[in-house]
Amino acid sequence: MGEVLLTHKLEGERLELAAGGSWTATHAGELEALVERVAGEAPEAKDVSIDMAGVREFDTFGAWLLERLTRQWTKSGREAVVVGLPEHDLGLIEEMQGVNLEAVPKPVRQNPLVNSFAAFGRAGVDFGHDLVIFAGMLGAVSVSLARVVLHPRDYRLTSTIHQFDRVAWQAVPIILLITFLIGAIISQQGIFHFRRFGAELYSVDLVAILVLREIGVLIVAIMVAGRSGSSYTAELGAMKMREEIDALRTMGFDPIEVLILPRILVLVVALPVLTFLGSMAALYGGGLVALLYGGISPEIYISRLSDAISLTHFKVGMIKAPFMGLVIGIVACAAGLRVKGSAESLGLQTTNSVVQSIFLVVVLDGLFAIFFASIGM
Amino acid sequence: MTKKNAVIKVRDLEVGFGDQTILDHLNLDVREAEILGVVGGSGAGKSVLLRTIIGLVPKRRGSIEVLGVDLAKANEAERRALERRWGVLFQQGALFSSLTVRQNVQFPMRENLEISQNLMDEMSIAKLEMVGLTPQDANKFPSELSGGMTKRAALARALALDPEIVFLDEPTSGLDPISAGDFDELIRTLQQTLEITVFMVTHDLESLYTACDRIAVLADGKVVADGSIANMLESEHPWVKTYFQGKRGSMLADRQMNA
Ligand SMILES: Nc1ncnc2c1ncn2[C@@H]1O[C@H](COP(=O)(O)OP(=O)(O)OP(=O)(O)O)[C@@H](O)[C@H]1O
Ligand SMILES: [Mg+2]
């Protein structure tokens, strides 16, 4: 430290520079400032000599800054000579002389306003693309399903069972817990508000209908989208990144049949099962709160339940479940296959997968509501 | 030749995973400003040795000293200071996939040096040209590179801070012979001009002949032979014999003799 890196003095029409100390990466910041200052020095000088004899350490950073200095002078039509470089550093200077900065394509800067409009437009176009991809995936899955129906022996049962374990079985505890809590909360709110009219018992109807028709299946679908949809996307995306999917294809396997069909079928089966379990947990939670908070005894709760609910309510919930599983599976797998080379795109597609599948699940629920209303269910 | 002091000292090293022992009482010295080639069969533990030296794989026993610092005893600050003084080229490149090639090379500079963006841009281009990439490649993302280009870009990143030691894990695998030759020459040039120490894992006999000053052979978890090519050709160890005196080995040896 404290060494003088660069000194200059003017001798007639000749600018003489003497370098010293460490011309290395560690001092690159200081050196750069010095070099820039010296480059503007003494415009009247005709030629420049740089004496490097005093330099103790030298690396590519030093070499480049020296090269930059000589380039600047040569460009303004003056002559620059470098003297006193040790033999073994010449190779480094040679490397630096070959560096051609002109060939570097400059990154294009765009107007931010134009950019934001472009992004808006692109989002619209992307949405259209997403729909097309969704339809394409649905078609591809149907084709491979048809093939499996014709040749059931080709179906990958082991993989399916493995996926079922991960997606359904391992999800049971968390789904039971959440739906239990939701049932309890609905029941508490119902009792609290109906109590003013002395109609606490109707809170049982509220819990039963809401849970069986809507909340049970929706909560489960959202949980599964966050839990399994995201992991589908991440798995398939990572496989895509490491060319594993291309490898499968070259070995004559259809990635849709090997990877995607079992995953989607598992979701289609798992969602009704989880919905059923979730709904039961919610009713149980509701009953517990009814007893502890509303003083409704279990016998009354159950008899009220059997009055309030019909098989229709139950069917409405259960019919929706497999469709929601299908939507989640297709969105998640399609997003996985859209992952490009970078880790960032993997993250982006995983987010997309969860957001889109939750959105579509809600939209689907709305469409079903209209449908059931019109057929009087 | 005067014997230079060792910049990497590995003593009695034992490394294993589960109940499998990969390196068993291994001793190795890497001397200042030399290019050491490490060879050994696939799965012999070359990459594991490299990763243990740079502190990525925990060791069971033994000591490792790099540039006079024992990583196991160093505190956080000493560790970081040491890590700045070496560069690593991983077997798979390990470029950051969400950064362009140029940003990858600039990454260590940005974190460790206080220099302007302008200088960083120029330096990254210079480094890329040094390793044989064109400036057009600078704005590409790692997923858009060929295998050989990935190797080169990763080398440029390893060299970003002008380290004192570079660790190279199979730098020439996956390169065409001409590029591999250039690569060896580049490493030679760098070693001569910057006086860096190179620890190079390789399967490439050509590299061993043209680039390496010394060779260490890894087998059965130990260094079973080390020294110059001439020493290797004299060695009695069966693996070393097959490797250097097999068909490909002796062809190169003959060429070396005749040259
Ligand atoms: N993280 C790990 N966990 C368990 N075993 C490992 C791990 N990393 C390496 N191994 C094992 O250590 C042994 C040595 O592996 P290593 O990668 O060092 O081989 P190598 O000599 O570099 O081979 P190659 O020339 O093929 O690259 C292998 O048997 C490998 O299975
Ligand atoms: Mg290896």
Q: How far is the CA of B169 from the centre of ligand 2 (A)?
A: 7
Could you tell me the strand order of the sheet in which B20-31 lies?
Answer: B20-31, B6-17, B61-66, B69-70
Q: How far apart are CA A139 and CA A141, in angstroms?
A: 5
In which domain, by residue range, is A36 found? 6-97
- What rounded mean pLDDT belongs to chain A? 88
pLDDT at A15 over 90: no
Above 70 in pLDDT, residue A64?
yes
Residue ending a domain, among A97, A115, A139, is A97
At B108, is the pLDDT very low, low, confident or very high (cuts 50, 70, 90)?
A: confident
Report which of A170, A159, A161, A160 is spatially closest to residue A274, judged by C-alpha positions: A170
Flag whether pLDDT at A207 surpasses 90: yes
Quick one: pLDDT at residue A261?
92
Contact A105 B113 (CB under 8 A): no
Mean pLDDT of A355-374: 94
Ligand 1 centroid to B63 CA: how many Å?
20
- pLDDT of A36 strictly over 60: yes
| A153 occurs within a structural domain | yes
Nearest CA in chain B to A61: B123
Domains of chain B in start order, with CATH, are 6-85+166-258 (3.40.50.300), 96-162 (no CATH)
- Give pLDDT tens digits for A77-93: 778 788 877 777 777 78
Mean pLDDT, rounded, of chain B: 84
Ligand 1 nearest atom to the CA of residue B40, by list position: 21
State the Cα–Cα distance between residues B182 and B211, nearest whole angstrom: 10
* A137 and A93 inside one domain: no
Q: Dihedral of the CA atoms A54, A56, A62, A65 (nearest 10)?
A: -10
Span B147-176, mean pLDDT? 86
Any idea which of A127-131, A246-250, B29-33 has the lowest mean pLDDT?
A246-250
Per-residue pLDDT at A162 exceeds 50: yes
More confident call, B35 vs A44:
B35
Higher pLDDT, A153 or A350: A350
**Residue A105: inside a domain:** no
- Indicate the range of A6-20, A222-236, B108-122, B125-139 predicted with least confidence: A6-20
How many domains does one find in chain A?
A: 2
| Distance (Å, whole) CA B78 – CA A284 | 59
Q: Does B252 touch chain A (CB under 8 A)?
A: no
CB proximity A3 to B under 8 Å: no
At A276, which amino acid appears? Answer: F
Q: Is B43 in the pocket of ligand 1 (CB under 6 A)?
A: yes
Residues A25 and A174 in one domain: no
pLDDT band at B253 (very low <50, low <70, confident <90, very high): low
Q: Does A108 contact chain B (CB < 8 Å)?
A: no
pTM (2 d.p.): 0.75
Residue A324 has pLDDT above 90, yes or no: yes
CA distance A84 to A100: 25
Are A248 and A329 in the same domain?
A: yes
A206 and A261 both lie in a single domain? yes
Chain A residue with minimum CA distance to B113: A26
Looking at residue A365, its pLDDT comes to: 95
**What does the alpha-carbon distance between residue B94 and residue A47 come to, in Å, rounded to a whole number?**
47
Structure tokens at B138: 């600078």
Percent residues over pLDDT 70 in chain A:
97
For chain B, say whether A89 makes contact (Cβ under 8 Å). Answer: yes
The DSSP call for residue B99 is S
Q: Is B16 in the pocket of ligand 1 (CB under 6 A)?
A: no
Regarding whether A90 and A186 lie in a shared domain, the answer is no
A68 lies in the same domain as A135: no
Residue pair A368/A320 in contact (Cβ under 8 Å)? The answer is yes
pLDDT at B187: 85
Specify the pLDDT at position B1: 41
What pLDDT digit, counting tens, does each position of A164-184 carry? 999 999 999 999 999 999 999
Last residue of a domain, one of A77, A97, A117: A97
What mean pLDDT is predicted for residues B177-186? Answer: 83
**Complex ipTM value:** 0.76
- pLDDT exceeds cutoff 90 at B69: no
> Which residue has a Cα nearest atom 25 of ligand 1?
B42
If asked whether residues A202 and A154 sit together in one domain, one would say yes
If asked whether residues A182 and A84 sit together in one domain, one would say no
Residues A155 and A201 in one domain: yes
Q: What is the pLDDT of residues A325-355, one digit of tens each?
A: 999 999 999 999 999 878 888 999 999 999 9
CA angle B123, B126, B132 (to 5 degrees): 145
Residue A356 lies in a domain: yes
Residue A158 carries which side chain, given as an amino acid letter?
A: T
At A317, is the pLDDT very low, low, confident or very high (cuts 50, 70, 90)?
very high
Model confidence band, residue A320 (pLDDT cutoffs 50, 70, 90): very high
The answer on A320 and A180 residing in a single domain is: yes
Mean pLDDT of B38-54: 89
| CATH (domain of A19) | 3.30.750.24
Chain A residues with beta carbon closer than 8 angstroms to that of B189? 91, 95
Q: Are A254 and A296 in contact (CB under 8 A)?
A: no
Q: Which residue has the tokens 């003083």?
A: A295
Q: Is the residue at A90 inside a domain?
A: yes
- pLDDT per position as a tens digit, A262-299: 999 999 999 999 999 999 999 999 999 999 998 899 99
Residues A264 and A340 in one domain: yes
Q: Does residue A17 form part of some domain?
A: yes
* B3-14 pLDDT per residue, tens: 568 889 898 899
Q: Are A164 and A313 members of one domain?
A: yes
At A151, list the tokens: 């040749």
Residue A200: partners with Cβ closer than 8 Å, 6 or more residues away:
A190, A191, A194, A294, A296
Residue B250 has a pLDDT of 66
Give the span between the Cα atoms of A178 and B227, in whole angstroms: 67
**Is 90 exceeded by the pLDDT of residue B81?**
no
Confidence of residue A216 (pLDDT cuts 50, 70, 90): very high
* A111 located within any domain: no
Residues with CB under 5 A from ligand 2 (ion): B 47
Q: Answer yes or no: is pLDDT of B235 > 90.
A: no
Ligand 1, atom 29, lies closest to the CA of B43
Considering A59, A82, A97, which residue would you say is the last residue of a domain? Answer: A97
Q: Which residues contact B154 (CB under 8 A, 6 or more apart)?
A: B89, B90, B93, B94, B95
- The answer to whether residue A219 sits within a structural domain is yes
